Every structure is written in structure tokens, then in C-alpha cells.
Amino acid sequence: MREIEINKNEAGQRLDKLLAKYLNKAPKSFIYKMLRKKNITLNKKKADGSEKLEINDKVQLFLSDETIDKFSEVDVVAIDVDLNIIYEDQDILVINKPAGMLSQKARPEDETLTEYVIAYLLKTKQLTKEELISFHPGLCNRLDRNTSGIIIAGKSLTGLQQMGNLLKERNIGKYYLTIVKGVVKESTSIEGYLTKDKNHNRVTISQKPSEGADYIKTQYEPLKTNGEYTLLRVKLLTGRSHQIRAHLQSIGHPVVGDGKYGDVQVNKYFKRNFNLRFHLLHSWELNFPEITGELSALSQKQFTAPLPNYFDAIVRRIF
């Protein structure tokens, strides 16, 4: 017999949902059969799977270790990656992601920041393989592969859910630094409608709404210009895939180094003279609002992520 004691990361969900995670290779019919036969019980009582779990509840599995092991599978990344951690508490990590690292899988064999976060939590003994069966830490926001800077990871269910709500409600100020082609003289905000082509992982921007298009709004402020290029501080007022890169390109100011939306000749110049391999877009700053409740430790905090060395060197050279 094996017993699972429900913790804060598992509470609040239905029993059958937990069992589907814990016995993730078992058919649903097997799980419900075991419940009917009282081979799986909740607090030593018969359960049908619809019960909502609470902290300190106990789930009993009257199954052999061989059966449990056969129906449970946990994938753990063994690679040890040094994360650039800006801030950490019991619920979240604020990480400075390097350009070139994936936030989420493009192919099943890809290793991503999510796997590296899990590996870090296992290494620091903040998470066990057993806990990983029923709860997966994850990322609360995403960055394109070649965009560097701040990403928030949820270490707990509270962190994932509450941070997800804050991001969804757009209560967090998110600022980026980028270098664009051309001279930008004034601070302003631009609006438009973004349509994503999932087959080609590319977006288009239009000024009129259309079916399937998402409204977007981007605010930017010029910090420096040399007459050919401008360093911008960009604030995301909506958060859509490729929004900053495509939106700035649509008004004639493509991001330097952007192979998808950028200017070919500009990119060649920076590749030749600076060996630039990534587009110059960096998630630079997060400003949290006043927060009460479970994430109150983050109330009115501000985090900044230093520019990557190659980005900082270009800023120093051309401005």
C-alpha cells in the first residue's frame, strides 16, 4: 500500500484529476475500476473520484509497487544549467533568460527553461521526484527563443495561479529594450490587429479588425539615437506572440537582427561588424502593483535584468 498526503500544490483539485497525474500511464477505466473496488480510497473511505481534495487529505493506493511503477512515469532533465536568478521566494522565480534558450518545446526532444527550472528545484531539494508526479512547476510568461530577459516561473500552484491572474489582468508593468532601424523622435503608443499564421510561426499586423485577429497596443519611448538607429524602451500594453517585433516593423522601425521581420541589409551589417546572432530585444524590467494576499511579498517590487554582453557592447559602440 502507498499513501499520498495532499499538500498545497495538490489541494483544490478533484481526486480523479490527481490520480490521472499520479498514474499517468494508466487508462482512465483502470483508475475508476480501482475506485469502485476500494483499491483506491480517500481518507480510508470509498470515493468515486469527484471529491475535491484538501490539504492533509490522504489517498491510499492498495496496489503493488510494480503496478504503481508501471503506470507512473516522470521525465527529469539531467542536464545541470546555471540559471541567472534575479529573485526567488517560496512561490516564484524571476529569471534572466539568455537568448537562444527555448521557453517552451517546439519539438518533443527539445530541452527548455521549464525543464531547467525543474532540474534546479530538484538539485536544491525544493522538489522531489515523487512530488513531480502530481505537480509540475512551470513558466508564467513566455519569451521568443532569441529574446533575452525576464521570465517568471511558478514554483508552487499558488505561484502559477496567482501570477497567471496578475499577468492576465495586465497589472504588471512589462518593459523591453530594443534597437530599431531609423530615427524615433517621440514617445507614443500604437495600436493594431495581429493575425498569427501558425503554420509558418509568423504574424501580420493590420489597422482594421478582422476575423481571428487580436487587438494589440504597444507603447515606446526613444532613449538614444545616432541618426540611423534608435534605442527604445517599449512597454507591452497587450501581450501577443511576436507583438513588439512585428508591430515596430509595421511602422518602418524593424528590430535590429530580427531574421523574421527585420531589414536584411541592416542585419547583414550587424552580423558582419558585431557578429550579432540574435535580434536585439530584451525583456528588461517588471514593475509589480500593490498586491495583497498570497503573493504580497512582491507588492510594488521592481526587477531589472541586465543587458546581455553583446547587446550592451553594441549600445556602447553605436550611441
Q: 82 pLDDT band (50/70/90 cuts)?
A: confident
Q: 78 pLDDT band (50/70/90 cuts)?
A: low
User: Contact at 8 Å (CB) between 23 and 35?
Assistant: no
Q: Give the model's pLDDT for residue 62.
A: 95
Mean pLDDT of 297-310: 96
pLDDT tens digits for range 257-272: 999 999 999 999 999 9
Q: Give the model's pLDDT for residue 80.
A: 72
55, 239, 276, 278, 279 from 266: Cα distances, Å: 57, 27, 11, 13, 11
Residue 186 has which C-alpha cell? 517621440
CA 240 to chain CA centroid, nearest Å: 13
Q: 76 pLDDT band (50/70/90 cuts)?
A: low
pLDDT tens digits for range 109-137: 788 999 999 999 999 999 888 888 888 89
Mean pLDDT of 23-27: 92
What is the number of H-type helices and E-type strands within the chain?
9, 15
Q: Give the model's pLDDT for residue 194.
A: 95
Give yes or no for residue 15 having a pLDDT over 70: yes
Give yes or no for residue 75 having a pLDDT over 80: no
User: Contact at 8 Å (CB) between 262 and 254?
Assistant: yes
Q: Give the model's pLDDT for residue 199.
A: 86
Mean pLDDT of 22-33: 93
170 vs 243, more confident: 243
7 vs 177, more confident: 177
